[in-house]
Every structure is written in structure tokens, then in C-alpha cells.
Amino acid sequence: MKQTIHQFTVKNINGEDISLEKYKGKVLLIVNTASKCGFTPQLNGMKELYDEFKDEDFEILAFPSNDFGGQEPLNGEALQQFCMIDYKAEYPIFDKIHVKGKDQSELFAFLSQKEKNGAIQSKPKWNFHKYLVDKNGKVVDYFLTITSPTSNKIKKSIQKLL
């Protein structure tokens, strides 16, 4: 069984298939986001973190989700504009997906279940749950919603992998 995120293909915000193999050799922070959440200001921190590490084989992958309190009402172009204009996101924004429950995407099932990823067990309990993935596509850590993207904990974990 492959235990990397590189085996997955996801849809970008425009509905095009993107193979996560494209991110081989990069450290990734994968985050489930929402535009109408109390934690939405973390998008500012995600931009700051991205700006700090983007030249060092680092990427943030944002996956909007409406799974928690209906806090992602936007779709497609409106969602892209919100992230890219209001929060100046330069990292990839993907199509809205389910990160939990019976319709959970294969990617988030992999990220959240130790029997699939071989390392961690951590299902998202709210928006802005963060998964850290090494350059080989292996899940190595997670950070709860309350952990700021610019926290020393996240920055040190990224620096160790770079």
C-alpha cells in the first residue's frame, strides 16, 4: 500500500484534475478552510507563513469545506476571489470538499487515519485543521484549529523538514 499523498488526484478551484504528485520534493501544509468561520483570519497567517517559506520548497494547499456549521457558502470563482483578493492567497486553493463523514474525500481519509497514512490519527474537528507532509509525501504531523499558522511550533516543524 502506498502511504503518500502523491497517489491522489484532486480538483482545483476551476474543477481541473491536479495530481498531488506535482508536489513531490516539497514540504506541504494542508489546511481545510472556510470563509465564514471565526478562524478565517488564519488566512492572513497562512499568507505570512507562505511568504516566509515559499522559496524553500514549501507549499500550502487549501481545501475549502462546508462540513462545520455551513461556514463555507462560497463556490468556484466567488471562493477564489475571496481567498485571492481579500486574503491575497498565492498558494493553491482547491475545490470545496468533505473533510469528514460518509462523504469524506479520499485525501482527507488518508490524512486523518493512521491505518491509511502510517503515522497519525487526527480527524478534523473544525475548520483550519492543519496537516504537515514531508518532501516524500508522508504525513508527519498535524496541528489543531487553534494553532496559528505563524506559531513557532508550526514554523520549527516546517524548518526541520526543509
Residue-level pLDDT at 79? 86
User: 2: pLDDT confidence band, cut at 50, 70 and 90?
Assistant: low
Q: Provide, rounded to the nearest whole percent, the portion of the chain with pLDDT above 70.
A: 99
How far is C-alpha 86 from the chain's CA centre? 19
In DSSP terms, which residues pair with 10 in a beta bridge? 18
Kindly report, residue by residue over 67-77, the tens digit of the pLDDT: 999 999 998 88
Kindly report, residue by residue over 21-66, the tens digit of the pLDDT: 999 999 999 999 999 999 999 999 999 999 999 999 999 999 999 9
What mean pLDDT is predicted for residues 2-22? Answer: 93
- Most distant CA pair in the chain: distance in Å? 41
Q: Tell me the C-alpha distance between 62 and 86, whole Å.
A: 15
Question: 5-161 belongs to which CATH class?
Answer: alpha beta
Please tell me the pTM assigned to this model: 0.96
Domain ranges of the chain: 5-161
Residue-level pLDDT at 45? 97
User: 104: pLDDT confidence band, cut at 50, 70 and 90?
Assistant: very high
Mean pLDDT across the chain: 94
Residue-level pLDDT at 146? 97
Which 3-state string (H, E, C) describes 7-55? HCEEEECCCCEEEHHHHCCCEEEEEEECCCCCCCCHHHHHHHHHHHHCC
pLDDT at 1 over 80: no
Residues labelled as active-site residues: 37
